[in-house]
Structure 1
Amino acid sequence: MRTGNEPLQARSPLRMRRVLALWGLVWAAAGAAAFSVAGRPGWAAACALVAVVAAVDLVIVIRHIRQGPHYQPGRDVPPYEPAHAPKEEDGKNRRR
């Protein structure tokens, strides 16, 4: 829900997440290749699993970036009015 106090210059973390997923994919793939050459199949499988997770995350992030801000209100959309307390009736709801 939009409250009206969001920063005007807020940015999505998707681009940073894309960079980190790409970085993880490169290092995990390199680790899988290095461990395969070194004869460590367990570590190679672990690195390959991390590479697959990073690749899936990268695909999801790129998909979200391409979808664009379809659910974000623009600057021309006013903030929601804050909820107001009900009006007092004959002083019954008055705080002391």
Structure 2
Amino acid sequence: MRTGSEPTTARSALRARFWLCVWGLVWAIFGTAAFSLAGRPGWAAACGVLWLVVTVDMAMVLRHIRQGPHYQPGRDIPPYRPPENRSYRPRPPDDNRHP
């Protein structure tokens, strides 16, 4: 849901999230293999679960990247319906920007 305070050109950092997934996947695979070879089945299982979570997250990130940019409403579309309260007054635009 839009709140009205987000920038109009905001984008999700999907590529950064993808590379973090790659980093996590490498360490989860390494941890699973290392703990399995070291005879620590509990830690190997924990790394295996982490491996699964990272893989699902990576699939979702790749899906969102492939979908491309989506329509974002502009400033002329209100972020939500104003309350029915009569004392509600919209906030004036902030024109006191510093260069």
Matched with 2:76 is 79
- Could you list the runs of 5+ residues in structure 2 that have no partner in the other structure? 88-99
CA distance in 1, matches of 2:52, 2:46: 10
CA distance in 2, matches of 1:78, 1:46: 46
Per-residue CA deviation, residues 39-93 of structure 1 (Å, 9 max, x unaligned), is 11111111011011000100011001110112334xxx55326989xxxxxxxx8
The total of aligned residue pairs comes to 84
CA distance in 2, matches of 1:14, 1:50: 20
1:37 is matched by which residue type in structure 2?
L
> Do the aligned residues in 2 keep the contact of 1:2 with 1:79 (CA within 8 Å)?
no
CA distance in 1, matches of 2:6, 2:20: 26
Matched with 2:38 is 38
2:49 is matched by which residue type in structure 1?
L
- RMSD between superposed Cα atoms in Å: 3.0
Identical pairs, percent: 57
Change beyond 3 A, Cα 1:12–1:30: same
1:19 Cα deviation from its structure 2 partner: 1.4
TM-score, normalised relative to structure 1: 0.67
> Do the aligned residues in 2 keep the contact of 1:2 with 1:80 (CA within 8 Å)?
no
Q: Aligned pair 1:64/2:59, yes or no?
A: no
Which of the pair has more CA radius of gyration? 1
TM-score, normalised relative to structure 2: 0.66
3-state DSSP of counterpart to 2:11: coil
